[in-house]
Structure 1
Amino acid sequence: MAKVRERIEGVVIGQFLGFDDDGPLVVFPGNPQETALPARSLAELSSDMIGQEVALLFEDCDPQKPLIVGRIVEPAKKSSGAQVFRDGERVRIHAEERLELRCGKATILMEADGRITIRGTYVASHASATNRMRGGSISLN
């Protein structure tokens, strides 16, 4: 068991163990009792958070009066899926490596290196003004 301290200053990382009639229960290094202590909380807690780490401060530095100031959360991992942004006028879909749109036998494929592939059984291009094709080289058939 950790050494019991008379005063605890600063933040201590403890563990949220659940609820009793007095509120949330926590344990922490330097806990003055063998059992969990009732705590007050600044953060909203629910039963699905039981067992998670919490940041604790102590009222008047008293180890008998823990105060939960927040839950320790894992850093957000890089999103592996595409992100969709909407602002009311346009929709932007962002993907890191590849974006693929499919409908039946039709596919539009966009790659991170700049390649765009359009496949379909019938591909039509219509323009009311100039329909321009530009590129380093153009290959037809």
Structure 2
Amino acid sequence: MMKVANPPKVSPPANEALTKDARQYGVVIGALAGFCENGSPLVSLGDRPALTAMTLVDVGEQHIGMRVAVQFEGGDLGLPLVIGVVRDNSGVGSSAGASAARVTSECGLSATIDDDEIVLIARRRITLRCGAASVTLDSDGNVEIRGKHLLSRAAGQNRIKGSSVSLN
């Protein structure tokens, strides 16, 4: 018989009722809502706020909004474990639904997504980045646009307003 030097520790479930509920459902289908600042995935399960999850599979930003298969560590509904990304018949990840979705995380991020609009709400800062270009919004009302080249184009009037405007 082989002995393991440091066997993994298994934490007992915090609440027996939660354990029974989680076992009753088996695998639960949720949606990958995003990621915390530390990189942990956030999983949305129905109408509940998104929870920080562990994962057995690699998930990245390309999987946000896709359906994921979730089980629970020790049967505890507060400890979700992503076990896979749900695929449609073409082998492509399946999205969480065509109708509007609202996700709120325990990290303070809120996202509302529908066919016409995406609204992201963060406590401190939101940054959109693509290569050398970025747009950053912060809670103080500052907007920073960076890029190798900036173009402002309007079919109508193009106005710049502010208490002062500095060029160069």
> How high is the TM-score relative to the length of structure 1?
0.47
Greater percentage in strand: 1
Greater percentage in helix: 2
